[in-house]
Amino acid sequence: MAIKAIRGFKDILPEEACSRVRLEETARQVFALCGIDEIRTPVLEKTEVFKRGIGEHTDIVEKEMYTFQDRNGESLTLRPEATAGIIRAVVEHKLHGTAPLLKLFTMGPMFRHERPQKGRLRQFHQVNVEYLGSSEPPADAEIIWLAWEIVTRLAGSEDLLVEINSLGCEKCRPVHRKELMLYLENNQQDLCEDCRRRMKVNPLRIFDCKNEECRRNLILAPVMKHYLCPDCASHLGMVLDILEAYGVPFVQNPYLVRGLDYYVRTTFEITSRKLGAQSTVAAGGRYDGLVKLMGGPDIPGVGMAVGVERLLLLMGEAESRKGIDLFIAALGREPRDEAYYWIGYLRRHGISVEFSFADKSLKAQMKQADKSGARYCLIFGENELDSERAILRDMKTKEQEEIDLDDLPEALVDRISNQSAGE
C-alpha cells in the first residue's frame, strides 16, 4: 500500500503554490512600504522557548504542541507560532542593540496538534510581523494597518471586520481581574468545565470560550474597557484615531482577548463571515513584557500574524499557471541540433522556452505546445531548414509568419520582449 501524508499536514500542489507566491509577494510589497526587514528562525526550538514565551496555561502549550525528545533526551518543540522564536533570536544576537526600533517579518509553517477542519490544519502557515522597541500608539496602528492592507489587497474588504480591544496594563488589569473573579465565582455553576479550570489560572481567557452557554453568561461580566487606567485609555484612543486617518474601518469588541498570556493593551483580530467557524484571518497585539520574560532587556513589542490558509480561502479561485513565452517544435536530427543553440540564447535573454525532449511527430509536439500555455510556437523541421525560414505561430490568433534563420534568435527576443512590454 502507498504511504499517505500525516493527518492535518497538507501537500501544497503547484496550482495552490502559485496563489501562495502571489500572497507572499503582496506581503513583501506591503512590508517594503514600511521598511520592515526579514528574519527566518528555525521551525524547531527548545520547548522552553514556547513554555516561557507563550505561557504554560494556554491552549497552545497545554494541548497543541508537537513536543518530543530528540536522541540526546532534550525536549524540543515544532514552533506553534513565530513570536517566541523571533524574540529568542533577537535576544541571542543582541539585534535590539543595533537599532532603537526593530521591524521584522517572517513567513513560514507553524505546527499545532488541533482537530483538522476547514481553515484549521496541523501544519499551517503564517505571515508574521514584530515591532520591538516602541510602546507608542502609532506602532500598534501600523501593525493593524499592515494586516488590513495585506488581507484587503488580496481578498478585497467585503465582509471583513477589524475588531479591537485593550487588555490594559499591569496597573489596571489586576483591578479588573479581581472584579471578574468575583463575578465568575458567583456564576460558576453556569460555566463549562474548561472555564471553571481557566478561572483559577487565567480568568481573562474565559472570554475565549467557544461554548454558547458560557458566552451568554459572560455578557454581563465586567469587561476591561471599563477599568482602563488613563494611560491605557488614551493609548487606545490614539490607536483608533490613527486607524481612522489611515482609512481602516474597525469596531471595538470588549470581549476580545488573546489566548496568549503576554498580551497587554491593544489586541485585535480581522474576521470574515465568509470563513465560518474559523473566522479569524489575522490577529495580533501588544506584548510589552515578553522580551524581558525571554531573558532580554525590558523592551516593548507589538506584532501580528496572518493565517495564510484562511487568507487563501478568501482569495477564492486558484491562480492559473502563467504560460511560457515560446514553445519550439523542432523535428528531425539537424533542426533539433540547431534549436539547442537558440534555446540557450533565448533563455539567457529572459525568454521562457520549452520543447519536447523526444523527437516526436509535429502533431504530438503541437499538443504539448498547447498544454504549455505558450504564447508562440516556433515550428522548425527539415523543410524549414531547406528553405532557411522557420514558422512562428501566434498561439492566440493562430496567425503564422516566416522568420529568416539568419537572425532568428535575435528577432525572436525583440519580438517577444516587445510583445510582453506592450501587454
| Positions 93 through 122 that interact with ligand ATP (CB under 6 A) | 112, 114, 119-121
Q: Looking at 81, 130, 261, 354, which residue binds ligand ATP (CB under 6 A)?
A: 81
CB 179 within 8 A of CB 309: no
The C-alpha torsion from 172 through 292 and 110 to 156, rounded to 10°, is 50
| CA nearest neighbour of 68 among 46, 84, 97 | 46
The answer for residues whose C-beta is within 8 angstroms of residue 304's C-beta and 6 or more apart is 128, 129, 143, 144, 146, 147, 268, 282, 283, 284, 285
- Is 278 an interacting residue with respect to ligand ATP (CB under 6 A)? yes
| CA nearest neighbour of 44 among 85, 13, 97 | 85
Residue 117 CB, nearest approach to ligand ATP (Å): 9
- Is 126 an interacting residue with respect to ligand ATP (CB under 6 A)? yes
The stretch among 217-225, 307-315, 343-351, 404-412 that binds ligand ATP (CB under 6 A) is 307-315
Nearer to ligand ATP, 151 or 172 (CB): 151
- Is 204 an interacting residue with respect to ligand ATP (CB under 6 A)? no
Alpha-carbon separation of residue 191 from 206, 210, 217, 222, 259 (angstroms): 9, 12, 8, 16, 18
Count, residues near ligand ATP per rule CB under 6 A: 18
| CA nearest neighbour of 402 among 413, 414, 415, 390 | 390
Residue 150 CB, nearest approach to ligand ATP (Å): 12
Residue 106 CB, nearest approach to ligand ATP (Å): 13
Alpha-carbon separation of residue 82 from 127, 263, 335, 361, 382 (angstroms): 9, 15, 55, 53, 60
Nearer to ligand ATP, 126 or 166 (CB): 126
Question: In a 10 Å sphere around its CB, with 0-12 CB exposed, 13-18 middle and 19+ buried, how is residue 417 labelled?
Answer: middle
Rounded Cα distance, 19 and 313, in Å:
11
Binding mask 287-306 for ligand ATP (x = CB under 6 A): ------------------x-
| CA nearest neighbour of 140 among 317, 32, 288 | 288
Nearer to ligand ATP, 124 or 376 (CB): 124
Rounded Cα distance, 305 and 324, in Å:
35
Beta bridge partners of 272: 160
Nearer to ligand ATP, 140 or 354 (CB): 140
Nearer to ligand ATP, 172 or 248 (CB): 248
Binding mask 308-337 for ligand ATP (x = CB under 6 A): -xx---------------------------
Rounded Cα distance, 184 and 203, in Å:
8
Nearer to ligand ATP, 260 or 369 (CB): 260
- Is 375 an interacting residue with respect to ligand ATP (CB under 6 A)? no
- Is 124 an interacting residue with respect to ligand ATP (CB under 6 A)? yes
Residue 256 CB, nearest approach to ligand ATP (Å): 11
Residue 283 CB, nearest approach to ligand ATP (Å): 4
Nearer to ligand ATP, 222 or 285 (CB): 285
Q: Looking at 211, 280, 352, 417, which residue binds ligand ATP (CB under 6 A)?
A: 280
How many helices (H) and strands (E) are present in the chain, helices listed first?
A: 15, 16
Rounded Cα distance, 124 and 117, in Å:
12
Q: Looking at 281, 314, 379, 408, which residue binds ligand ATP (CB under 6 A)?
A: 281
Write the DSSP symbol of residue 318: P
Strand 123-132 versus strand 264-272 pairing type: unpaired
The stretch among 36-44, 151-159, 244-252, 280-288 that binds ligand ATP (CB under 6 A) is 280-288
Amino acid at the residue 76: L
Residue 57 CB, nearest approach to ligand ATP (Å): 14
The stretch among 93-101, 179-187, 279-287, 291-299 that binds ligand ATP (CB under 6 A) is 279-287
Residue 368 CB, nearest approach to ligand ATP (Å): 38
| Positions 244 through 273 that interact with ligand ATP (CB under 6 A) | 259
Nearer to ligand ATP, 65 or 353 (CB): 65
Interface residues toward ligand ATP, by CB under 6 A: 81, 112, 114, 119-121, 124, 126, 259, 278, 280-283, 305, 307, 309-310
